[in-house]
Amino acid sequence: MSGVVVVELSDSASAPFTGKILAELGAEVWKAERPTGDSARGWGPSTWKGSGAAFHALNRGKRCISIDIKDREQLVTLHRLIAERADVFVHNLRPGAAATYGLDPDSLRVTKPELICCEIGAFGHQGPLSTLPGYDPLMQAFAGIMSITGEEDRSPVRAGVSIVDFGTGMWAVIGILAALHRRAAKHSGATVNASLLETALAWMSIGIASHNAAGAPGGRHGSGVAFIVPRAYPAADGDLVVSCANDALFGRLCEALGRPEWAVDDRFATNTARLRNRAEIDRLIAERLARQPRAHWQERLQSAGVPVAPIQTTAEVVAHEQTRALGIIGNPPDDELGVVGLPLSFDGRRPPPLHAARHIGADDDKIGGVLKDRL
């Protein structure tokens, strides 16, 4: 994406993640944040060089400028930056705020028809809730993700990572790339709308299809899922996730556990039967796995061709040889903080780590140099 200029007026996670991806794909990204800073700068508990580690994870590789859109002169500067430099404008302002400051697509494309505007909202750009703000955990709740996450006899829980924020950033990038492709052919701009709720609903695709087919969303199954058995089980020294997506894999599991008769037992021979007798097969598998440490079972199951993985801590996954071999965690050239890179490779090579996230307004003095007339 070298040669593409993005202006990102953002806060928190979804829009910053959008800009991060675009920057790592080679775009020149100008991050505009309010003078008091992006909210993520204050997210703890871990901090790095005065800002939350979360901010560094989401904002490296960008030019950082401080813009108070309530200040008329600074708003004019932002408008000029967009009009004179931007191919793409991304924001996650509160609903209605963009139009108040003339930053809505209709206003911006009066002077720049080819501009691609990406608006990231909470509940979506239309409908009775479209004017409400929202955050990741709200959408996990609203879209039903939490209703199928957690143990059956416990309260619903949210995913431990911001799957909705990050997913929305990914969808926004997909939309922006499609709009850039169309612009190259038709020489016209576009408005890309993405939202947290729409992303959360997309992650619920199987659950919603299951509900519409049978009237049942599937319930909560802890480390398992509604439509496949088995799940996670405790070995002698830690937990393992065993995944058998078909009956052939389940047969291999039974052989590896020394209980081949389970594979022909009418209660367990098919996935449908195992779902009906989930509690019993889970109990039987757990009893076998508890007898040996997880390294024993990993070797045995992997040799049998059964998908298996240990439940690792963050420290374990960072230190694991497979993670290191992928080279996905690296240090920016100007910083010692190891951060996760783009989960893509091109011709076998991953884009290198970009420069570290910068302090508030670090590139304010560069704005004048990129505009047609110095301010």
Residue 269 in any domain: the answer is yes
Kindly state whether residues 169 and 30 are assigned to the same domain. yes
pLDDT of 4 > 50? The answer is yes
Residue 324 pLDDT grade (very low, low, confident, very high; cuts 50, 70, 90): very high
For all residues of the chain together, what is the average pLDDT? Answer: 93
> Which range among 52-56, 158-162, 253-257 has the greatest average pLDDT?
253-257
CA dihedral 77, 134, 357, 330 (to 10 degrees): -150
Residue 274 in any domain: the answer is yes
Residue 216 in any domain: the answer is no
Active site residue 165: yes
- Given a contact cutoff of 8 angstroms between Cβ atoms, the answer to whether 6 and 28 are in contact is yes
> In this structure, what CATH number is given to the domain that contains residue 259?
3.30.1540.10
Predicted confidence at residue 138, as pLDDT, reads 96
Kindly state whether residues 242 and 341 are assigned to the same domain. no
Rounded Cα gap, residues 158 and 147, in angstroms: 9
Kindly state whether residues 302 and 346 are assigned to the same domain. no
Give the per-residue SS3 of the chain: CCCCEEEEECCCCHHHHHHHHHHHCCCEEEEEECCCCCHHHHCCCCEECCEEHHHHHHHCCCEEEECCCCCHHHHHHHHHHHHHHCCEEEECCCCCHHHHCCCCHHHHHHHCCCCEEEEEECCCCCCCCCCCCCCHHHHHHHCCCHHHCCCCCCCCCCCCCCHHHHHHHHHHHHHHHHHHHHHHHHCCCEEEEEEHHHHHHHHCHHHHHHHHHHCCCCCCCCCCECCECCCEEECCCCEEEECCCCHHHHHHHHHHCCCHHHHHCCCCCCHHHHHHCHHHHHHHHHHHHCCCCHHHHHHHHHHCCCCEEECCCHHHHHHCHHHHHHCCEECCCCCCCCEECCCCCECCECCCCCCCCCCCCCCHHHHHHHCCCCC
Pairing of strands 116-121, 88-91: parallel
Kindly state whether residues 122 and 237 are assigned to the same domain. no
Residue 50 pLDDT grade (very low, low, confident, very high; cuts 50, 70, 90): confident
Kindly state whether residues 118 and 19 are assigned to the same domain. yes
- Residue with more model confidence, 150 or 91: 91
CB atoms near residue 90 (< 10 Å): 29
Which residues make beta-bridge pairs with 193? 119
Predicted confidence at residue 17, as pLDDT, reads 97
What mean pLDDT is predicted for residues 243-270?
Answer: 95
* Number of separate domains in the chain: 2
- Residue with more model confidence, 255 or 47: 255
**Please, what is the end-to-end C-alpha distance for the chain in angstroms?**
28
Kindly state whether residues 240 and 362 are assigned to the same domain. no
Report the range of poorest mean pLDDT among 62-66, 297-301, 350-354.
350-354
Kindly state whether residues 114 and 194 are assigned to the same domain. yes
Residue 175 in any domain: the answer is yes
Catalytic residue among 11, 87, 104, 165: 165
Confidence (pTM): 0.91
Residue 116 pLDDT grade (very low, low, confident, very high; cuts 50, 70, 90): very high
Predicted confidence at residue 373, as pLDDT, reads 60
Kindly state whether residues 12 and 158 are assigned to the same domain. yes
Residue 217 pLDDT grade (very low, low, confident, very high; cuts 50, 70, 90): low
Structure tokens at 185: 């052919």
> In this structure, what CATH number is given to the domain that contains residue 179?
3.40.50.10540
Residue 117 in any domain: the answer is yes
Kindly state whether residues 142 and 245 are assigned to the same domain. no
Which CB contacts under 8 angstroms, 24+ apart, belong to 270-276?
271/227, 271/228, 271/229, 271/246, 271/247, 274/229, 274/230, 274/250, 275/227, 275/229
Kindly state whether residues 298 and 342 are assigned to the same domain. no
Rounded Cα gap, residues 365 and 111, in angstroms: 25
Structure tokens at 359: 């302090």
Report the range of poorest mean pLDDT among 39-53, 63-77, 261-275.
39-53
Residue 365 in any domain: the answer is yes
Residue 336 in any domain: the answer is yes
- Given a contact cutoff of 8 angstroms between Cβ atoms, the answer to whether 82 and 7 are in contact is yes
Kindly state whether residues 175 and 26 are assigned to the same domain. yes
- Predicted confidence (pLDDT) per residue in 136-186, tens digit: 999 999 999 999 998 888 899 999 999 999 999 999 999 999 999 999 999
Residue 162 in any domain: the answer is yes
| Residue whose structure tokens are 């990050």 | 166
Residue 374 pLDDT grade (very low, low, confident, very high; cuts 50, 70, 90): very low
> What is the total residue count of the chain?
375
Kindly state whether residues 250 and 159 are assigned to the same domain. no
Predicted confidence at residue 8, as pLDDT, reads 97
171 lies in which domain range?
A: 5-203+327-370
| Residue whose structure tokens are 């990914």 | 170
- Given a contact cutoff of 8 angstroms between Cβ atoms, the answer to whether 235 and 293 are in contact is yes
What mean pLDDT is predicted for residues 22-34?
Answer: 96
